[in-house]
Amino acid sequence: MSFSGDWYKQICISANGFIYLYDKMMLKEKMERVPVICNPSTGQKIYLPKVLAKNKDLRSFLGYDPIENQLKVLCMTVAGYRQQTNSREHQVLTLGKVKPSWRKIKCLFPHFPENFGNGICISGVLYYIARSNLNTVIACFDVKYEKYSFIQIDDENSQLNWFLTLINYKGKLGAIVFDRSSHGNLWVLDDPEKEKWSKHIFHLPDTVFRAIRSIWATDTGEIVWAPSRWTHPFHLFYYNLERQSVRRVEIKGIEEKVSMGHMGHYRPEAIFTFTNHVENVMLM
């Protein structure tokens, strides 16, 4: 699929076979970024209504409700990440047969999302890293009921304040944390009600630090990462926690797909990877 070229590369999220990002579109005789949902399986893409909010900066997340089989976009205002002020407007858009529109919802817990990470949706709950009163929390948004809850990070788990990314680890929420050495820590939320975490230590080569945004886990529990910038040949790396071993897998055929720019020397500025992508032929 092709886009206008200058889309906002910080936002690229996948859920249930659909991808959410920002693209450029002509609005009122000027080019503006607007949210778009696309389906790689069908080639369909639809532009969503522009978000009307008092603040210019926005943060968006894509969630999926498996019970009602619905995709929803959660959007909130951000006054400015350097200001670190709480988000005041929260809006939701539901994709379906009816023309989509933004609806305001209430959030009684003051917070603002961090400016890194795109969140992750597990079993109908959208998780993302946020800050509240300068403390790190994990925001939990129930996609079906559109209700918030939050996981506090206490002193015992203070290392979780340095999140790298959130992952789906065997159906549970996991958090990847790296220290200054090559040690990596995988924290798994074993009991959401009691907020009990288990910690797993692993060792990764230095190449992982060039792939901060592209880390996930397989169904069997292997930690996987890919380079965030183009490399040739293109490899994925799999780390087995039980055997503490790394295997490298070359992905062939990508070189021919991306080398179609000017004089055949085009290279992508960024690479996004999606775990457990599914073929979805549903039309929007």
Name the percent of the chain lying above pLDDT 70. Answer: 71
pLDDT-derived band at 211 (thresholds 50, 70, 90) equals very low
For residue 139, what is the enclosing H or E element? Answer: strand 135-142
How do residues 43-83 score in pLDDT, each as one tens digit?
888 888 888 776 667 788 999 999 999 999 998 887 655 55
How do residues 14-28 score in pLDDT, each as one tens digit?
888 888 887 666 566
* Measured CA distances, 12 to 73, 136, 199 (Å): 12, 23, 29
What does the DSSP assignment read for 212-269?
TT-EEE-TT--EEE--SS--SSEEEEEEETTTTEEEEEEE-SHHHHH--SGGG----S
pLDDT number for residue 146: 96
- Cβ neighbours of residue 190 under 8 Å, at least 6 residues apart? 172, 196, 197, 198
d(CA 175, CA 168): 9
For residue 183, what is the enclosing H or E element? Answer: strand 183-191
Report, in this order, helix, strand and coil percent for the chain, each rounded to 5: 5, 50, 45
d(CA 128, CA 121): 9
pLDDT-derived band at 131 (thresholds 50, 70, 90) equals confident
Q: What average pLDDT score do residues 191-219 get?
A: 73
pLDDT number for residue 26: 56
117: left (phi over 0), alpha (psi -120 to 50) or beta: left
pLDDT reading at 126 higher than 90: yes
pTM for the full model?
A: 0.84
DSSP state of 56: S
Q: What average pLDDT score do residues 9-13 get?
A: 66
pLDDT number for residue 103: 92
pLDDT-derived band at 189 (thresholds 50, 70, 90) equals very high
Nearest Cα to 15, choosing from 60, 49, 59, 65? 65
pLDDT-derived band at 224 (thresholds 50, 70, 90) equals confident
Q: In a 3-state reduction of DSSP, which class is residue 79?
A: coil
Integer Rg of the chain from CA:
19
Cis-peptide into 233, omega within 30 deg: yes
d(CA 173, CA 157): 15
